[in-house]
Amino acid sequence: MKKMDFKQINKSFGRFMGWIGLLWCSAMIKIIPGRYQYKFANAIANLGYNFVAKQKKIALESLEIAFGTEKSPAEREKIAKDCFIYMAKSAIELMSMMDKPELLKQRIDIVNKQYLDAALAKGNGVILVSAHFGNFPLLLGRLSLEGYTASGIMRPMRDLRVEKIFLEKRKKYNVKTIYSQPRNTCVDTTIRTLRNNELVFIPIDQNFGTAGVFVNFFGRQAATATGPIIFAQRTKAALLPCFIVRQDDDTHKIIFEPELALEAVGSSEETIQLNIQRLTDIIEKYIRKYPAEWGWVHRRWKTKPQTL
């Protein structure tokens, strides 16, 4: 019991310090000139990479699982370092750009918008299938500025104080939050939103335990959420992969892939499995092209398939 109490206290202290750090960074951003903010992000990232041993270890392990001998240890370490830099830059941008709509418009372009408009024209809503890739919260804010009604299915952050800060920023852009739990509420709200012909952003790149399906991801079986396919089956909503990619000058591009038409095979379970694999293949393609954009600090392959 004492050991568990200590572990809980340690977690609570860590979350408290994370909240304090967020408030400190928010205050610093208000006084640091814009041209120096990315240098500030680089400094924070270097500190994090050198002192947050657990996340660094997870990132390097994940990169080894994904790339193995495809990339050398030095190449994998560079990706891990760049990943920390990109995460720090994304945090800085969320603190600054989400309060400046005109800046958000200037710094984020939209590519292949015609795919989104064509999907919406069908009148059954659009499921934006993506990943924890790039500065994805900015994606929803930017689409809202274009006049689209957007929601995102998200897990609430463990620290409710931090969650409240980002929830308020999303609300400023009329970006709706659909929490993944309770499950029944999430399902009902998502179906209602799609039937209103709105956008629902669903990332499917994190470990989903035993509730999803196992698909191939970088040559390993990964437990993956099935929500996009099930919602598409129930509502006839369009499936539209999309990603936000950082450019060399720290602007961004939102890129829409063509609509993914459902392929029906065998049983309903086989249809779900096949189409989740197709979506996962697209996500892997983007991660391979822009590896530092993905969140390697997540244990993607934590859940293993059951063996007989």
| Enclosing domain of residue 13 | 2-97
Domain edge (last residue) among 97, 127, 160: 97
Residue 298, domain member (yes or no): no
Residues 273 and 213: beta-carbon distance below 8 Å: yes
- The two structure tokens encoding residue 88: 């720090």
Q: Which pLDDT value is given to residue 6? A: 47
Q: Which pLDDT value is given to residue 44? A: 87
Q: Which pLDDT value is given to residue 91? A: 87
Instruction: Please state the pTM of the whole predicted model.
Output: 0.90
Domain edge (last residue) among 44, 76, 97: 97
Q: Which pLDDT value is given to residue 172? A: 75
Mean pLDDT by groups of 10 residues along the chain of 308 residues: 51 46 61 79 90 92 96 97 94 83 94 98 98 94 95 79 69 85 94 98 95 95 97 97 97 98 92 97 98 96 82
Q: Which pLDDT value is given to residue 13? A: 40
* Same domain (yes/no): 122, 74: no
Q: Where are the alpha helices (DSSP H) in the chain?
A: 2-31, 34-51, 53-67, 73-96, 101-107, 113-120, 136-145, 160-172, 183-195, 227-235, 268-289
Q: Which pLDDT value is given to residue 18? A: 52
Residues 186 and 178: beta-carbon distance below 8 Å: yes
Q: Of 204, 145, 159, give the one whose Cα is nearest residue 180.
A: 204
The count of structural domains within the chain is 2
What is the C-alpha to C-alpha distance for residues 145 and 143, in angstroms, rounded to an integer? 5
* Same domain (yes/no): 149, 284: yes
Domain edge (last residue) among 97, 119, 143: 97
- The two structure tokens encoding residue 37: 């903010």
Residue 197, domain member (yes or no): yes
Q: Which pLDDT value is given to residue 306? A: 80
